Amino acid sequence: MSLEFKPIWADSLGAKSFSTLVKTPDVVVLIDPGVAIMHGSFPAPPELKAEWVEIGYEKIVEASKRAQVVVITHYHYDHFTDFDEVLYRNKVILAKSPNEYINDSQRGRALRFYSKLFALKNVTLEEVMEEPIEKEYSHPLEELPHASTVDYGDYSARKRELLEKGFKWFKGRVDKWNSYKRIPEHEGEVFKLFFADGREFSYGSTLIRFTKPLFHGIEYSRVGWVIGVVVEYKDRKLLYSSDVNGPIIEDYADWIIREEPNIILLDGPATYTLGYMLNQINLRRAVENIKRIIRETSPQVILLDHHLPREPKYVERLSDVYELAEREGVKVMTVAEYFGETPVVLRKWS
């Protein structure tokens, strides 16, 4: 056996999720054990949407029984479950830090989650919280040299304005992070908890590597930050993008290309928010970045799912991507198609 993977649940199967099981001879890793119901405009009956959440959750719980390591890339409910003891007891938990590079809503979810996790040890979170640490943070755009060179044409002035506003928002976040009491890591018999941002962990010949915090979508996305994951065993490599929304940001596509993974689990742009949270410029950025990934890597498969198959026009809106993949002989498909099924959003429910 080398590196094997199995998607557990994903948006194309009817509920918001991108949960994945990765297995090597050394370790079994469950990435993002979360599932959430589809939005109201998703074209399926409410009772089916609820049923798909239940099915997805049952499959995630079953998969967790095989895993020694559980990864949480951020604190949205389609990426982690709050709370099920089966998922986390006796596990090594490699999680996005809840103490920095986090927005208010995810911080609140993290506090509730870790309160329940530490309760497994019969202690309260308040008993173990650590004092705040004053830190300096570099300018986020210093980490994005490629994106900073993009020419937006007539949109350039507006883009500069948005980046300036975003940086002011970021500085406000820094003040909060420096004031937070800190949730600690933990090594005990009931669970082990490590905050994984920018770190790597080895299990025999298997390496699990994490990115530094990445924007959840565009620069200064108010939705927060995520961490991407690479699981590597000898000459096999799986990359899990988490929620980079395309990627929209060019430097995140550069990261994927540099890794040259055999298997890519790539979340797509949220086309169902087009005209609301996603504009045409950022959609084009995402499309061009996915095309670069297809041209410049040679993966066994790209599972392009999560966010993307939430509305029926996604194939049309990413037609350039699918046409290029066919010409290049690269398998690009949803999780449903990987299992030989039609994505739920493309089925007829009338």
Residue 85, classed as helix, strand or coil, is helix
Could you give the 3-state DSSP secondary structure of residue 239? strand
pLDDT at residue 298, rounded to an integer: 85
Query: Closest Cα partner for 96 from 231, 186, 217, 193?
Result: 193
For residue 266, which of 294, 236, 244 has the smallest C-alpha distance? 244
Asked whether the predicted pLDDT for residue 349 surpasses 80, the reply is: no
Q: What is the mean pLDDT of residues 224-242?
A: 97
Asked if the model's pLDDT at residue 174 lies above 90, the reply is: yes
C-alpha distances (whole Å) from 81 to each of 63, 89, 106, 230, 236 are: 14, 13, 13, 22, 29
Tell me what percent of the residues of the chain surpass a pLDDT of 70.
99
Interatomic CA distance for residues 347 and 44, integer angstroms: 9
pLDDT at 273: 96
pLDDT in tens, 259-307: 999 999 999 999 999 998 999 999 999 999 999 999 999 899 999 999 9
User: Is residue 347 predicted with pLDDT exceeding 60?
Assistant: yes
Which has the closest alpha carbon to 310: 253, 215, 245, 248? 245
Give residue-wise pLDDT tens across range 113-163: 999 999 999 999 999 999 999 999 999 999 999 999 999 999 999 999 999
**Tokens representing 185?**
């890591």
> How many C-alpha atoms does 28 have within 13 Å on its Cβ side?
9
pLDDT band for 310, please (50, 70, 90 cuts). very high
Residue 196, pLDDT > 80, answer: yes
What percent of the chain is modeled with pLDDT above 90? 98
What's the mean pLDDT in 323-343? 97
Its sign, for the CA torsion 107, 109, 110, 112, is positive
The answer to whether the CB of 305 falls within 8 A of the CB of 269 is no
Can you give the CATH number for the domain in which 40 is found? 3.60.15.10
| Cα–Cα distance for residue pair 58/65, rounded to 1 Å | 11
Kindly tell me the number of DSSP H helices and DSSP E strands found in the chain. Answer: 10, 16
Task: Read off the pLDDT of each residue in 22-26 and give the average, rounded to a whole number.
Answer: 98
Region 219-236 average pLDDT: 97
Question: Can you give the residue range of the structural domain that contains 188?
Answer: 4-346
Q: Which residues pair with 238 in a beta bridge?
A: 231, 263
How many domains are there within the chain?
Answer: 1
The token pair at 74 is: 């951020």
What is the pLDDT averaged over residues 217-224?
Answer: 97
pLDDT of residue 350: 56
